[in-house]
């Protein structure tokens, strides 16, 4: 049995997210699994490093699957390139040890959220950024982001319900800002993220930047652990899973 690792890039605009949904053919996982079945003749479930929401994108999603196929890696990649839709691309393919697991072995992830900060919308980047016409105070946003970095209970920054079984403590290593013209890119690097956590953190930072909440309110969200105390969940189209990290 071979274990195959894929690094995948996709435009999530027309999909319902990563995870397969019943008989729907509008998921990334479903599309890839259908191609693998055509390629190998096997019904295979691929394992992704994590889910991405409907309309969210990825530059470096990682997945693995196990197969009895004797096709070479080059032949597999050529098959993916030929039969996958143009908005899903297998960038890299490799054979890994049998125990490699795309989700359980991941040590961290990097997400980037894009904001088009201009009074005038953009026609070309509308599917890949969130339009915020008002001027943002980046100094205050950076100060608020500093308070999010570190190890905290992020329950208030997630769409999860409180559970005694699963920990909501996560470590954020970096939140950084880069602006080029009207496009603001906010990078989130952490050991792991809860459901909709990046989008809620981004919405909270935007409210700070718009003067709708104070920098000090970040501490209150951590203390209260209540979703309603954090900011709005920003739209998914501005979110990219940029990279998944593994031990070498």
Higher pLDDT: 204 or 23? It is: 204
Per-residue model confidence (pLDDT) at position 57: 98
199-230 per-position pLDDT tens digit:
999 999 999 999 999 999 999 999 999 999 99
C-alpha pair distances (Å), 68 with each of 1, 2, 177, 203: 5, 6, 45, 45
64-94 per-position pLDDT tens digit:
999 999 999 999 999 999 999 999 999 999 9
Residues marked as catalytic: 53
Residue 164's pLDDT band (cuts 50, 70, 90):
low
Residue position matching structure tokens 């309110």: 217
> Residue 16: CA atoms inside 13 Å, Cβ hemisphere, count?
11
Q: Which two tokens stand for residue 208?
A: 């700070």
C-alpha pair distances (Å), 8 with each of 11, 75, 119, 153: 10, 17, 34, 30
Q: What's the CA angle centered on 85, arms 97 and 16, to 5 degrees?
A: 85
- pLDDT(25) > 90: no
Interatomic CA distance for residues 225 and 228, integer angstroms: 9
Per-residue model confidence (pLDDT) at position 23: 66
- pTM, two decimal places: 0.95
Average pLDDT value for the chain? 96
**% the chain with pLDDT above 90:** 94
Residue 22's pLDDT band (cuts 50, 70, 90):
confident
Residue 120's pLDDT band (cuts 50, 70, 90):
very high
Are the C-beta atoms of residues 150 and 172 closer than 8 Å to each other? yes
Q: Which two tokens stand for residue 92?
A: 């890299």
Residue 21's pLDDT band (cuts 50, 70, 90):
confident
Interatomic CA distance for residues 130 and 113, integer angstroms: 8
Left, alpha or beta for 203 (phi > 0: left; psi -120 to 50: alpha)?
A: alpha
Structural domains of the chain, ranges and CATH numbers in brackets? 2-96 (3.30.70.580), 107-246 (3.30.70.660)
Q: What is the DSSP string of the chain?
A: -EEEEEEEEE--TTSS-SS--TT-S-SHHHHHHHHHHHHHSS----EESS---TT-EEEEEEEEEEE-----HHHHHHHHHHHS-TTEEEEEEEEE-TT--TTTTEEEEEEEEEEE-SSS--SSSTTSSEE--S---HHHHHHHHHHHSEEEE-GGGSSPPP-SSS--EEEEEEEEEEEETTEEEEEEEES---TTHHHHHHHHHHHHHTTSS-TTHHHHHHHH--GGGS-----GGGEEEEEEEE--
Spell out a b/e string for 41-66, using b for 16 or more CB atoms within 10 Å of the CB, else e. Answer: eeebebebbbbbbbbbbbbbbbbbbb
- pLDDT(24) > 80: no
Q: How far apart are the first and last CA of the chain?
A: 22
27-52 per-position pLDDT tens digit:
999 999 999 999 999 999 999 999 99
- pLDDT(102) > 90: yes
- pLDDT(162) > 80: no
CA 45 to chain centre: 20
């Amino acid at each position: 049995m071979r274990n195959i690792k894929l690094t995948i890039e996709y435009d999530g605009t027309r999909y319902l997210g990563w995870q397969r949904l019943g008989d729907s053919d509008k998921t990334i996982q479903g599309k890839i699994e259908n191609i693998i079945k055509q390629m190998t003749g096997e019904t295979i479930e691929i394992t992704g490093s994590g889910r991405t929401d409907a309309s969210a994108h990825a530059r470096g999603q990682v997945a693995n699957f196990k197969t009895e196929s004797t096709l070479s890696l080059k032949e597999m990649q050529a098959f993916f390139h030929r039969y996958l839709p143009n908005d899903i691309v297998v960038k890299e393919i490799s054979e890994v040890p049998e125990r490699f697991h795309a989700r359980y072995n991941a040590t961290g992830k990097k997400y980037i959220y894009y904001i088009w900060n201009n009074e005038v919308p953009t026609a070309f980047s509308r599917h890949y950024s969130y339009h915020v016409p008002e001027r943002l105070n980046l100094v205050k946003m950076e100060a608020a982001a500093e308070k999010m970095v570190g190890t905290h209970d992020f329950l208030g920054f997630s769409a999860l319900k409180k559970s005694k079984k699963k920990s909501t403590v996560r470590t954020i290593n970096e939140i950084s800002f880069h602006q080029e013209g009207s496009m603001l890119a906010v990078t989130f690097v952490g050991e792991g993220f809860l459901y909709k956590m990046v989008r809620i953190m981004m919405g909270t930072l935007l409210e700070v930047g718009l003067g709708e909440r104070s920098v000090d309110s970040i501490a209150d969200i951590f203390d209260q652990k209540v979703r309603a105390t954090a900011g709005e969940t920003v739209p998914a189209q501005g979110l990219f899973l940029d990279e998944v990290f593994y031990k070498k």
